[in-house]
Amino acid sequence: MKSNKSYCILTFLIVLGLASCREFIEPSIKDSRVALQAPGNGYQSTKYAVNFWWDRVDGALTYRLQVVTPSLDTIGALILDTLVKTNTFTMSLDPGRYQWHVRAENGSSKTAYSAVRTFTVLPSTIKTQTVLLSVPANGTITNQPMASFQWGAIYGATKYRLEIDTNNFVNESAVIYNQLTPAQSAAFSFPKDQTYQWRVRAENDTAQSRWSGINQIVYNHTPPGIVTLTAPVNNQTVPLPVSLQWNAVSRAVKYRLYVLKGDSTTLYNASFPVTLSNTSYSFGLGTSFDKVYWKVTAIDAAGNESQPSSMRHFTVQ
């Protein structure tokens, strides 16, 4: 009976171990294949912005997209060779003939490249084209007082008009920034904490493109409020582990915990300060009669860090 019980326990542990291994062993994708969706083979378009799309592969972490001209058999130029985390990618191309293919990758394996697709971008007026915005990405939150705005080139354009506003371009005559530049980038200093919108239009001496989509960026350099420590109370003797606790702060997305030695200035060890997303931390280091100091700061989505909380200390029981 005891032997059967031991056998059952051993079998359970083996099965559990195998299940745990499967969670950590990355699946091989070398026998999988990527199916391309768009642009289709032989596709022709007068739109310079080309949307690439392919099916996802189970177990893939990234996809390598290559675009060449005029063909992979006779490469005149490598237009693009990039890793993409999703199964879509958009870029602006000059008129010409192109071929593209994709392979899926993870940390330990990769598929063969997909079948090759050919497409052609036909010459057209810039009036029908749209500029693709690059950085900052839509929804960016920053505490840097200056940002570099960048966008893709449009074939046939000689200059680009960058507009920045805080009222979503409702009144085009009252935007806060309106500048022409021959480059595909421009720097802008934020006048104050606020949400800004930006867009770009390509131009030449005879025509203007459509406006790009509108991207939003939030500038915030104001730190969040100061953290209030709640437990343990100051100068308390407590057993290990000690639950260090504090109140949540408005606008904070994470907290930085500083734990210091008895001199109140030296960090307890190299793991501190530790950044946390919650409002507590279990501290289990030290020996009896050690005096430990601690304080906490709040960090917002823009990366602003508050002034530290008041310093507290406790003695390990």
C-alpha to C-alpha distance for 60 and 26, rounded to whole angstroms? 10
Beta-sheet strand order (sheet of 215-219): 140-142, 215-219, 194-203, 159-165, 177-181
pLDDT at 25: 80
The two structure tokens encoding residue 161: 């008009």
pLDDT per residue rounded down to tens, the chain (317 residues): 444 544 444 444 344 444 444 445 889 999 999 999 999 999 999 999 999 999 999 999 999 999 999 999 999 999 999 999 999 999 999 999 999 999 999 999 999 999 999 999 999 999 999 999 999 999 999 999 999 999 999 999 999 999 999 999 999 899 999 999 999 999 999 999 999 999 999 999 999 999 999 999 999 999 999 999 999 999 999 999 999 999 999 999 999 999 999 999 999 999 999 999 999 999 999 999 999 999 999 999 999 999 999 999 999 99
The two structure tokens encoding residue 261: 């030695």
Give yes or no: residues 289 and 237 share one domain.
Answer: yes
Judge whether 146 and 189 are in contact, CB under 8 Å: yes
Whose CA is closest to 202, among 130, 308, 291, 100?
130
The two structure tokens encoding residue 240: 């290990």
- Is position 224 within any domain? no
Give yes or no: residues 213 and 240 share one domain.
Answer: no
- Is position 9 within any domain? no
- Is position 108 within any domain? yes
Computed on alpha carbons and rounded to an integer, the radius of gyration of the chain in Å comes to 29
Give yes or no: residues 87 and 157 share one domain.
Answer: no
- Is position 139 within any domain? yes
- Is position 17 within any domain? no
124, 157, 180 - which closes a domain: 124
Whose CA is closest to 89, among 115, 64, 125, 122?
64
Give yes or no: residues 166 and 101 share one domain.
Answer: no
Beta-bridge mates of residue 219: 142, 194
The DSSP H or E segment spanning 209 is: none
Give yes or no: residues 200 and 255 share one domain.
Answer: no
Give yes or no: residues 134 and 166 share one domain.
Answer: yes
Give yes or no: residues 118 and 191 share one domain.
Answer: no
What total number of domains does the chain contain?
3
Query: Assign residue 59 a region: left if phi > 0, alpha if psi is -120 to 50, beta otherwise?
Result: left
Beta-bridge mates of residue 165: 197
Give yes or no: residues 178 and 255 share one domain.
Answer: no
- Is position 85 within any domain? yes
- Is position 277 within any domain? yes
186, 219, 252 - which closes a domain: 219
Beta-sheet strand order (sheet of 185-189): 133-135, 146-151, 185-189
Q: Spell 285-312 as b/e; 16+ CB within 10 A means b.
A: ebeeeebbbbbbbbbbebebbbeebeeb
Give yes or no: residues 92 and 136 share one domain.
Answer: no
Give yes or no: residues 195 and 233 share one domain.
Answer: no
Whose CA is closest to 119, among 55, 53, 64?
53
Give yes or no: residues 164 and 183 share one domain.
Answer: yes
pLDDT at 20: 44
Give yes or no: residues 208 and 234 share one domain.
Answer: no
Task: Give me the CATH number covering residue 292.
Answer: 2.60.40.10
188, 219, 250 - which closes a domain: 219
- Is position 106 within any domain? yes
The two structure tokens encoding residue 130: 């749209």
Residue-number span of the structural domain to which 236 is assigned: 229-316
